[in-house]
Amino acid sequence: MIRTGNQYRDSIRDGRRIWINGERVTDVTKHPMFKPLVDIRARIYDMAHEPATQDVMTYEENGERFAVGLKLPYTQQDWHDKRRATDVVLDDIKGVVTRVGDETVGEMWSLFDGKDVLNEVDPRFAENIERHINLVIKNDPFHVSANTDPKGDRSKRPQEQDPDMLLHVVKETDAGIVVRGAKYETAAAYANQAFTKPTIANWGDDKLSEYAVGFICDLSSPNLRFICRTGFAGRAPAEDYPLSNKFDEIDTLVVYDDVLIPWENVLFYQHTRAAAFIRATLHRYSAFAFVQRNLKLADMMIGAALWNVKQTGLEKQQAVQEKLAELACYRAGIDAHLTAAIANAERSPAGLLMPNQTFLMTGRVFACSQLHHMMHIARELCGGQICVTPDAASFRDPEAGKWLNKYYTLNDEWHADDRRKLLAFARDLLNSDYAGHRLTFQLFAQSPPFAHLAAVYRNFDWNEPLRFTKEAAGLSDRVYGRPKAAAE
């Protein structure tokens, strides 16, 4: 099934308890700080129905249509199709949003790969993940990701402080488990369900196994509270802050105040090995869609910088060209990692096709760790005018506007209005609250930088450099020890 935008809007008008700026939100689909993103998510649903985009956004099986982004990947073509559908969405909305479903759904496929681990404790859990993956395809919900707890004092164990600092099970009933705690979740206030699982923290101790729990949380459940950070939309006019007003994905502290999770939604419980498995494999699929977003951020940085130097006649300067070339290396580098990840894709334990893990995880480090440097280069090329340019209202003022039109018109092609628009766009991309937020999002939202590097360490094949160096340096076979092992 593919839902319509309005079916999605109806699904989140469920009386959920949401706060923002200290106010209770009555209708999340209409509130000015949520509406832009709800409308984009609704637009993505509608694109699955529109003749111009239906074939890219959906596939047909037994006479029914389903979303391409939710399809289990078995072939390289499946990955090309997913990549294309995401590009078509970002082109349509003319900006970047990440947490709209296609990026988060892959986390469930990682647990699907761990069916054998789940079976160790209870075969019901392996059945549950398989059923939920199929339900997502069948029902087309907006699915998000919940990992990060407030965590508290990391030098203490959970039971040595407020035990709710990490989400845990407080009770078992015939109907299911009752959970208490809190998670930071982008988009949860306007989504349908979250794959909730342990964070990177001290849950791995057997004695604390009520913390080793994973489940699908229906975000309409009673006893959830959504306490959101303030939004960027509506704080200043859209013509001055075009990205802040349209593409702010609101993050939420979701409080689980004794929430009943039915047994059919429990994916693992009291199972530290399953918790360790999912932490180690969580992004083996979803990193692809995450890194793909950096490609579009690169497009916007290159575009803003290049249009600016074209406007001002600076693009002939060699020093300017070198900076543009650095931005191009960044973009092409990400593209190459994604393309190589599909070309060298690997079969997963459950028989799915994973993007090549070395290319994907090194690509994620490259894309995320260099983003601040690329923003710096783009900011330098756009120049200080992104900071100092007056707002659109001043350009319209009969007296001030005359001066602004004089000083912002460059020649016959570049009139003040286009120059103002470009500078406002570049300011919001590189210099605003929203720009800083976006940078932090790319750095942290799919786990922090140290975890990105840990994923590279786990996936890189260390054996070949060891073999080559052993032979080049003439080392004896003794260095391998017994049994022969990779670097640890």
**Sheet containing strand 17-20, strands side by side:** 23-25, 17-20, 224-228, 251-262, 176-186, 168-172
**161, 163, 204: which is closest to 182 by C-alpha?**
163
Binding region for ligand FAD (CB under 6 A) out of 56-64, 145-153, 174-182, 468-476: 145-153
Taking the C-alpha atoms of residue 67 and residue 330, their distance in angstroms, rounded to an integer, is 31
The type of residue at 11 is S
Tokens encoding 426: 């570049």
Among the listed residues 146, 191, 374, 377, the single contact to ligand FAD using CB under 6 A: 146
447 binds ligand FAD (CB under 6 A): yes
145 binds ligand FAD (CB under 6 A): yes
Over the window 200 to 239, marking each residue x when it contacts ligand FAD by CB under 6 A and - when it does not, the resulting string is x---------------------------------------
**65, 94, 69: which is closest to 79 by C-alpha?**
69
Nearer to ligand FAD among residue 182 and residue 352 (C-beta): 182
450 binds ligand FAD (CB under 6 A): yes
- Residue 195, beta-bridge partner list: 145, 216
Residue 208 has phi, psi (to 5 degrees) of -105, 30
Nearer to ligand FAD among residue 96 and residue 404 (C-beta): 96
Tell me the closest approach of the beta carbon of residue 365 to ligand FAD, in angstroms: 14
Task: Count the residues of the shown chain that bind ligand FAD, applying the rule CB under 6 A.
Answer: 19
- The long-range contacts involving 80-84, CB below 8 angstroms and separated by at least 24 positions, are 80/342, 81/56, 82/288, 82/289, 83/288, 83/292, 83/338, 83/342, 84/56
247 binds ligand FAD (CB under 6 A): no
Contacts of 122 (CB under 8 A, 6+ apart): none
Nearer to ligand FAD among residue 185 and residue 218 (C-beta): 185
444 binds ligand FAD (CB under 6 A): yes
Taking the C-alpha atoms of residue 260 and residue 262, their distance in angstroms, rounded to an integer, is 6
Q: How many Å from the N-terminal Cα to the C-terminal Cα in the chain? A: 47
Among the listed residues 184, 203, 290, 434, the single contact to ligand FAD using CB under 6 A: 184
Binding region for ligand FAD (CB under 6 A) out of 50-58, 182-190, 299-307, 427-435: 182-190
157 binds ligand FAD (CB under 6 A): no
Among the listed residues 202, 276, 448, 456, the single contact to ligand FAD using CB under 6 A: 448
Residues that bind ligand FAD (CB under 6 A): 99, 145-148, 151, 183-186, 200, 251, 440-441, 444-445, 447-448, 450
